[in-house]
Copies of this chain bind each other. A is one copy, B any other.
Amino acid sequence: MHTTVLGEGNTPCIHSRDYGEDLWFKMESQNPTGSYKDRFAAPAIAALASPSPPTVIATSSGNTGAALAAYAARFGVRLAVVTGANAPPAKLAPICAHGAKVLLVEDFAEDPELTAAVLRSIEQFTERTGAVMVVSAFRYSPAAMEGVSAIATELAALAPRHVVIPVGGGGLYTAIARGFLAAGMQDVKLHAVQPNGGATVAGAWRQNLRTALPMPGKTAISGLSVPLDLDATTALGHLYACGGMGIVLEDGEIYQAQRRLFDEEGICAEPAGAAAFAAYVKARDEGLVKPGERAVCLITGHGWKDAASLASRDEAAPPISANQLLEALQEYAR
């Protein structure tokens, strides 16, 4: 039994049914608010707890906001979360439930210039008013991002050869790379996975560029649309340094991997949380990751975060009366 603020971190690691002990899943979906962002939010908000905590203005695609809202409630911090207008409702509901405000901004996290302008606005506003800006990126909140590096420490005992990481802004990748470096494990290959509609890091790697590729966010995968260079160029540097690969996927490949996790592994991941598995399957099929080489895929967020992606399956049939049950059960009488 471990004790933390709300129970963040020390998430389970489970092995794959289909790939056995070659492949492990790091279940970040089992953090208190359902994503790895709790590892960031806990120190970010705890650092502000004081007799008179400031107001926090944060940006988020949803998971950071939900994480910050829980810790903000715990520490009595007033919070407003700026997010894109198409964030999944299930990510926003807990933000409101914890008493924080959501500010939906059109085209945020899609249009690069508009997104940069919004960040500048918040920066100026917080400087002027004494509010604090929180963004889950080393560029803005480096101390709290160190909380995410604990993922590497927790994986060290598995001694993986590959760790497959979904990349949005690049903060998660950077944090894990720093964690492995701090643990003296610089030979773990950390692979960066992105959808084609947001391949700022993985796309740059494939073109052998030294700086990230800011581009309009054109993916439907919530959390992986970050059209700016937050920590992307930093992540790209680590990607070259550790000898990892940039892996670019179509959205459809990610949804397919999400369904395979549901069907075969028994894991309920949001689409972004399934992206690493999609990339592992692809890399293994192409011989880039070999049988017997231990890999870890990060399941970064729980399936409930994106209800629409769950509902793509058959839904429950209309209610029946108790008298009709035996008839309905007949199809199970093989």
Contacts and interface: CB of A to CB of B under 8 A. Distances in A.
Nearest to A33: B268
A78 to B, nearest CB: 7
A180 interface: no
A94 B97 CA distance: 22
B93 A311 contact: yes
A317 interface: yes
A264 B70 CA distance: 9
A108 B317 CA distance: 15
A7 B27 contact: yes
A271 B172 CA distance: 33
B97 A310 contact: yes
A322 B73 contact: no
Nearest to A96: B313
Question: Of residues A57, A70, A78, A316, which shows the largest number of chain B Cβ atoms within 10 Å of its Cβ?
Answer: A316
Contact of A125 (B33, B105, B267, B326): B326
Interface string A1-39: 111111100111111010000000001011111100000
A320 B104 contact: yes
Interface of A is mostly: mixed
A319 B103 CA distance: 7
Interface in A288-326: 302-304, 307, 310-311, 313-322, 325-326
Contacts of A74: 17, 264-266
Contacts of A32: 12, 27, 29-30, 267-268
B5 A1 contact: no
Interface string A147-159: 0000000100110
A144 interface: no
B14 A322 contact: no
Contact of A14 (B7, B15, B265, B302): B7
Interface residues of A, number: 91
Given A15-B3, A105-B321, A70 B310 contact: no
A48 interface: no
A105 B329 contact: no
A314 B96 contact: yes
Contacts of A4: 12, 14
A326 B57 CA distance: 12
B14 A5 contact: yes
6 contacts: A6-B27, A32-B268, A98-B263, A102-B316, A105-B319, A129-B334
Interface of A: 1-7, 10-15, 17, 27, 29-34, 55, 57, 70-75, 78, 80, 82, 85, 90, 92-99, 102-108, 114, 117-118, 121-122, 125, 128-129, 131, 154, 157-158, 262-268, 302-304, 307, 310-311, 313-322, 325-326, 328-329, 332-334
Given A1-B13, A73-B265, 19 more contacts: A6-B12, A6-B266, A7-B12, A30-B32, A55-B332, A57-B329, A70-B266, A73-B262, A73-B266, A74-B266, A96-B311, A97-B262, A104-B319, A106-B322, A108-B322, A122-B325, A129-B333, A131-B333, A304-B304
